[in-house]
Structure formats: C-alpha cells, structure tokens
Copies of this chain bind each other. A is one copy, B any other.
Amino acid sequence: MKKLYIAGPEVFLPNAREQMNRKAALVRSYGFEPLCPGDLDIPPQKTKKALGLAISRVNEGMMNEAHGIIANLTPFRGPWADVGTVFELGYMCALGRLIAAYSNVADDHYTRLLAYYGNRITEGADGHARGPDGLSLENFGMADNLMLDGGVERRGGIVATHHAAPDELYTDLTAFEACLKHLSMRPDAGDEGLRPEELDASNDG
C-alpha cells in the first residue's frame, strides 16, 4: 500500500489531532496509508533546540518512507503558504515521489500579489510589473510561486484550488480529496521515484 505524507499547517490548529484524523481517514478510504506530522511521539530532549531537531528528523524520516506527498499550500499567517510545508514539497519533489498540492484559497499567485500591494502596481522600464517597493511580480497563471507549481506539475501532479468558506479555511477537504483522486489514478511511479530525465516528458506546455 502506498504511503502519503500529509503536509500542512494543520499541526498548528487548536484541534490539530482531530483535523489530521479526518484527513487520515479520507486518505485510507482511497487505499493509501497516511503518514502525518505529529503521528509519532518525539522522545523528550534536553533543550528546545534539540526538540526542534528531533521533530525535523522524525518528519524527514516519514518523508523518506513515503511514496508521495499531499501538501496544503493554503495561505497561512499571510498571503503565502506555510514555509515548513513548502520545504517538505521541495524535499519530496527532489526525491521524485508522487506529488500533489492544494489550496483552500482559489485566488492565484498574481491575484494575491495584487491584493498584497493594494493594486498599486506599475510597469517598470524593463516591462516587469512591480510593486511600490520595486519588487517584481510573477504572473504565470499559476496557483503559487513558479517553483511550487512547476515542481508539482512537471512531475504529473496537480495543484488543486477551492474557494473554502472563511471559517473552514484549514478544514475544508474538497481540494484535498481532489488530490487523493488524482494520486489514486496515477500509474505506479515505482519505489525509487522519478529520475530527473523522466520529468517533463509529457507535461510541459
């Protein structure tokens, strides 16, 4: 049975365990085994730093064991995804595993950038759209930063988006389930994952 690492900021929710259990049950219903941050007890450590390192080790261990990842990229503490989840997405892309990601905010990357800048965008001398701070905006018709969407899609994954109700931002599982459906229909990618030369073969526009 293929194992999926369930990455996302739900670990920070007050009812984190309940949310992860809901996700885990849905994962199992699609025939996968869920591996979730927080599943394993972390042995007591002498310092806060050692505890953080121990959690990192345990989570990386779960990722190394997993055949794939579903990453929750819903904006978290700002317009952008939780950085821990993004790290894990990059990690699993490099390992060539099965990849899917989703967001419960349907606005794409460029739309969220416009909102961040209050629409105060100008076109620079070099043709790039820039904010008042001079920083250029990505506008590639992608849900998120191009490294994230590109990493997922070039590996045959999907970035599913859904407009969740505000009080269900981290609990709505519609797009999460779309990821499960997609992964359940993927041909077997093999235990060793995709080799670099297997990327892009049929996925690029």
Is A45 within 8 A of B205, CB to CB?
Answer: yes
Cβ-based interface call for A86 (8 A):
yes
Is A165 an interface position by the 8 A CB rule? no
- Say whether, besides A14-B130, A140-B49, A204 and B57 are in contact (CB < 8 Å): yes
Number of this chain's copies in the complex: 2
Q: Could you say which residues of chain B place their CB within 8 Å of the CB of A145? A: 82-84, 87
Which of A25-33, A148-156, A171-179, A182-190 lines the interface with chain B?
A148-156
Interface residues of A in 138-164 (CB under 8 A from B): 138-142, 144-151, 153-154
Query: Of B9, B57, B154, which is within 8 A of A154 by CB?
Result: B57
Across the two chains, which residue of chain B brings its CB closest to A116?
Answer: B77
A-B pairs with beta carbons under 8 Å apart, 19 shown: A9-B135, A52-B140, A56-B154, A60-B199, A64-B196, A77-B80, A77-B116, A78-B80, A83-B144, A83-B145, A84-B146, A84-B147, A84-B148, A87-B148, A88-B147, A90-B91, A90-B94, A91-B151, A92-B94
